[in-house]
Chain A
Amino acid sequence: MAGIQALQQLEQKLNQVILGKPQAVRLALCCLLSEGHLLIEDLPGLGKTTLAHALALSLGVHYKRVQFTNDMLPADLLGQSVFLRDTQEFQFRSGPIFSQILLADEINRASPRTQSALLEAMEEKQVSVDGLSYALPKPFFVIATQNPLFHAGTNALPESQLDRFLMRLALGFPDLQTEKLILQQDQGQSRLEGLNPCLNEQQLLLLQQQVVQIKVSDALLDYLLALVTQSRQQQDCLPLSPRAAKALLRASKAFALMSGRHYATAEDVQQVFPSVAEHRLNPGSSRDNQSLSLQLLRKVPCPL
């Protein structure tokens, strides 16, 4: 299990930056390991961007940050063909999306058109401009942040596009002690400054491969399917798609790897379930609300 130690080191470092949110940090890492895109949603000032930055910085890969605004055009994100007078031909100038990690800040401020341009790239891992396809680098993932929907000047992501995000995380308020600590340690410089990459690109790809090889027992799969099936029988939520089931399995495996195991357990599934499922079950919900997924977990017996 090479890379596990580096991973744990990384987790530790992130926890030093994002104080008091070990679960969110772990899930965020887990999401990246399972090659999924991450959506962080919360009120402004709770550390969304910090978490995204910290992740990007510490992974030691090439990253870009894009601040989404409502007048942003797809070309601003993807890049555009420019006519060169010298050579008398068009040349493609790649946009910020051509990076290994894209920090899409306040994604729900952009127009639906720009949103969908990004989401297409997320799913297909390539960009089409003027009839030509350009492959995105590997690994590629998007860490998007968004403000709650009721905030002014937001365009809600449609269900189909929310589904592209493997997980949706919320950070929530820190507890009093942590907040005190944050205040105490505030010495006028960003916490991110001292952060060095703990993993290189190779290690990350290797870890992602290891996730795939995590063992999942038959009984565990049955449990996972029971959860999915339950969502389809319930009236008060959207049903979970097979893609959601796949995402759940992948995330569970990554979670198992994070714990240094080569097999996934029922607890892994239960731990990742709210983050993976809630935004699919209830796209309109926001912030810390995980009530539907937790309710669903309580309805399905777990003998394992």
Chain B
Amino acid sequence: MLNPAFIPTALLLQLMLLALLQEGLSWWSSLVLIGILLFKYISFKAQQKVRMMTINALAVMLCLLLLSQLWQQDMQDSMLQLLFFSAALRLFSIHSELQHAKKLLWVQYFLITTGFMLNQSLWFASAVFLLFFCNLYLHYLLFAPVQQRQFRWTDIRLLLWVMPLCIALFVLFPRLPPLWQTERQHQAQTGLADELSLGGLERLVQNDSLAFRVEFADEKPAQHELYWRAKVFETFNGQDWLPDLQRASQPPLATPGRYRYQLVVEPHFQRSLFSLGQVSQLQGQVQTVAAGLIESRQQISRRFSYSLTSNGSAVAQQNPEEAKRNLVLRHTNPQASALAHQLKQQHRTASGYAQALYQYFEQQQFSYSLRPPVLNQQAQVDQFLFQHKVGFCGHYASAAAYLFRAAGIPARVVAGYQGGVWQAQGDYLQVLQKDAHAWVEYLEDGYWRRFDATVIVAPLRLTQGLSDALSLSERQFLDQFFQRGVLGHWLQQLEWLDYYWSVWVLSFDQTEQRFIWHYFKTMPWLWIGGSIMTSLLLVLVIYLWLQRSNQSQNVLLRQRILKVLRPYGEKADYQSMESYLRQLIQLYPLQATKLNELLSAYQQFEFAEQLEQLQQCRKLLHQLAKHNSTVG
């Protein structure tokens, strides 16, 4: 018989689960699930049994629906929906069957943990744990004896008891690589795009979500040095800048770095990662690729952490091919080319030319705007440089790179993020999507030097981050709200907690584990203390066990006597063992000797505490039991 509280609790749990997994469910499946749960609730209230036929028909229908949607949505999401449908339908079918309820619970455990495929933040994890405990409670409802089915808060203590074990397992249990991985197909792109058009980055710049977070080990670079390189575009087709397809893997230079930092990247479903200037050392599942960039070995589909060391200088040229590749100009913008030639004649060196360009941008009254006028197809660089003179980083980078190339200086567009907000509590840097930026690198003396025209046009963009799109009053209101208010304070605290959740829990992998073991090994006192503690505990356990067994030996012997002698006759509750055995001796004269011996051995063991008599008792009992079985 099922506990009456089981079905309502399970309904509530599935409803919460529905909210939790919303991200992985399509709108129609959410609707269907709500409908199923609601219907189940009504039929439960009315105490009606749902017919299996209805459920089977519904299941077939839902499967077909899912199959038809399979091509339009992510495989993983489809599977998630399938699992959820099966859980909901299983709940739908349960009336009082214990067996079905058990199956339901196991499916729900699985379903709850699939939530981690969607999100890994601290808050999400807390919700997952909460649901997990709810399911545990459901399990408890199923198996607890009827009198004890009331939920007691003291049971929470049990959870606290197992916590140290959980933590120990988390830290010490070998980390296994994932058994399989899924690539999400139709995931919305949240990071930088694969090409950069003149109007690109606009989408990102208006996005307030988190891109990644950085913690510096010792020295922190100045704000205007924080150019996070993510992508390098080397091919220009007149409108868009495209990455070079040739992506040779390059070993990092083993030079001592100036900045040591750890990054925690939000999932952006690409492989490209972020770094500052020339990378000298790297740690984690990352590799270097062409143009001094860093890439993950897998698509970043969950929070990902890695550590880097950079020396903060310009990126070195890797091969002569690079210079050639970055001179190519297939489409002409006549006015821009003319300007480049003119400036080039005045300034021979590349750095002189760059200075001239800075001056040019400063003098020509370019302005910065997130809503620049739309450009025509033809000669876009010319239009921007000479006609509108309004744009944002993408425009400036694109135009500057064109001007460099037109003057015969190898140049390329780099996309990434600039700056970030320092979080006071955690001493870490938070980089948001709206910090997305594009700039230019030109080649001089074997190094790629940075050229960022935006600095000239909108210097505040660099030092204070982007808030161009906001009016002054709005900005003041937000500042007040987020930085000085109590709420703002708490929000920052929560951000900080979430950050360390990522750093210490999510990014805890084999490397970290090995590190911890290594750390333990270097501290002999820890080992000595640990082994002393363990042996003390062991001694205590053995002592208690001996005590217990000493005490319970008597009880065990009494139980054994009763069990063996039961076929001879029952012992009354109030009867002493002696009178019981004497009674048996009267009744079974053939066994009298053995019973007499047993009696005397038992009395000596029980009352005179002669422990050696236990063996004798056991022997006699064994013989009596054997006799008993042969006789019948």
Contacts and interface: CB of A to CB of B under 8 A. Distances in A.
A interacts with B? yes
Interface of A: 215-217, 219-220, 261-267, 269-270, 297-304
Mostly, the B contact residues are: helix
B579 A267 contact: yes
Contacts of B606: 217, 219, 265, 304
Given A220-B607, A265-B603, A302-B575, 15 more contacts: A215-B609, A217-B608, A263-B604, A263-B608, A264-B607, A266-B577, A267-B576, A269-B576, A270-B579, A297-B574, A298-B574, A302-B573, A302-B574, A304-B576, A304-B606
Given A217-B606, A219-B554, A265 B578 contact: yes
A78 B172 CA distance: 87
Contacts of B554: 219
Interface string B564-592: 00000000011111110000000000000
A301 B609 contact: no
Contacts of B573: 301-302
Can you list the 8 inter-chain pairs with the closest CB atoms, starting with the nearest? A266-B576, A267-B578, A263-B608, A263-B607, A301-B573, A267-B576, A298-B574, A217-B607
Given A263-B603, A303-B558, A304-B558, A215 B577 contact: no
A193 B531 CA distance: 81
B357 to A, nearest CB: 99
B405 to A, nearest CB: 99
A262 B578 CA distance: 16
A266 B575 CA distance: 9
Nearest to A296: B574
Given A219-B554, A303-B558, A265 B574 contact: no
B577 A304 contact: yes
Given A219-B554, A263-B603, A302 B608 contact: no
Most chain A beta carbons < 10 A, residue from B579, B607, B609: B607
Contacts of B603: 261, 263, 265
A28 B576 CA distance: 23
A99 to B, nearest CB: 37
A300 B574 contact: yes
A300 B574 CA distance: 6
A219 B555 CA distance: 10
A89 to B, nearest CB: 58
Interface string B600-625: 00011011110000000000000000
A274 to B, nearest CB: 13
B539 to A, nearest CB: 25
A266 to B, nearest CB: 4
Contact of B609 (A217, A297, A298): A217
Given A265-B603, A270-B579, A303-B558, A215 B574 contact: no
A267 B582 CA distance: 11
Contacts of B579: 267, 270
A297 B572 CA distance: 12
B20 to A, nearest CB: 55
A217 B107 CA distance: 56
A262 B574 contact: no
Interface string B37-70: 0000000000000000000000000000000000
Contacts of A263: 603-604, 607-608
Given A217-B607, A219-B554, A219-B606, A301 B574 contact: yes
A304 B579 CA distance: 10
